[in-house]
């Protein structure tokens, strides 16, 4: 388990984010009509891919999910829940952006916190927060032969950079860590949802 100052809140956030990304991966795999094993692989990679890369890059090994069986249990429960309640999840999401929005908000803050806790610079911490949030999705999309969201014109990875920067800046204030976490996650999710709803995009490179 990742060790943070607000341990109970962060642990809950981490498990919740893992569940959300696992659901996201399974739903896309189902859309692509993969078999059970293929869907399980996509779900697992979506849930832990970003955090795994982050931990390897900052030298925090064994990586987080290897040290706590609860991560695997959460992923398994997300897979089963999606199998049995797929229609409910699809009605809640409408499109994949809702689950991705929740996931990137949760994992951005986790990546920033863990990296800052190791004494690395804020710039590196924001980069690691972004990697934590989006790389699982990159692997997911690549494996099912889709262009990853971060390479499209959608406002996606930029939202994570904004969230990570906000968390770091709030650290320079007198706000307690729990409030910083809540504000940052809420801001990240809100910006992402607004970007999709209002069709905010960046200009294509020519």
Residue 152's nearest CA partner among 105, 95, 90, 199 is 199
Q: Report the run of H or E that residue 22 belongs to, with start and end.
A: helix 7-31
| DSSP bridge pairs for 201 | 154
Q: pTM for this one?
A: 0.83
Q: What is the DSSP string of 138-165?
A: HHHHHHTT---GGGSSBS-HHHHHHHHH
| DSSP bridge pairs for 154 | 201
The single-letter DSSP state of residue 87 is H
Cβ–Cβ < 8 Å for 48, 71: yes
In a structure prediction context, what are the per-residue pLDDT tens digits for the chain, which is 206 residues long? 444 455 676 777 778 878 888 988 898 899 899 999 999 999 999 999 999 999 999 999 899 899 999 999 999 999 999 888 877 777 766 655 666 677 787 788 889 988 998 999 999 999 999 999 889 888 999 999 887 766 776 677 888 899 999 999 998 888 887 788 888 888 888 888 888 777 777 776 66
The single-letter DSSP state of residue 66 is G
């Amino acid at each position: 388990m990742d060790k943070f100052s607000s341990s109970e809140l962060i642990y809950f956030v981490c498990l919740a984010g893992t569940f959300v990304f696992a659901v996201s991966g399974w739903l896309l795999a189902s859309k692509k009509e993969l078999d059970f094993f293929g869907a399980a692989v996509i779900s697992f990679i979506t849930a832990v891919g970003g955090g795994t890369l982050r931990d390897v890059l900052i030298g925090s090994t064994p990586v987080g999910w290897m040290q706590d069986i609860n991560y695997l249990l959460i992923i398994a429960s997300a897979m089963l829940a999606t199998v049995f309640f797929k229609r409910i999840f699809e009605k809640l999401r409408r499109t994949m952006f809702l689950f991705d929005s929740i996931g990137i908000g949760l994992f951005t803050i986790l990546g920033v916190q863990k990296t800052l806790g190791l004494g690395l610079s804020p710039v590196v911490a924001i980069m690691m927060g972004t990697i934590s949030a989006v790389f699982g999705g990159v692997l997911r999309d690549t494996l099912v032969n889709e262009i990853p969201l971060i390479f499209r014109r959608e406002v996606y990875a930029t939202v994570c950079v904004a969230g990570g920067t906000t968390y770091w800046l709030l650290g320079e204030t007198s706000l307690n860590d729990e409030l910083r976490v809540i504000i940052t996650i809420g801001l990240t999710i809100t910006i992402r949802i607004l970007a999709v709803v209002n069709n905010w995009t960046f200009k294509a490179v020519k």
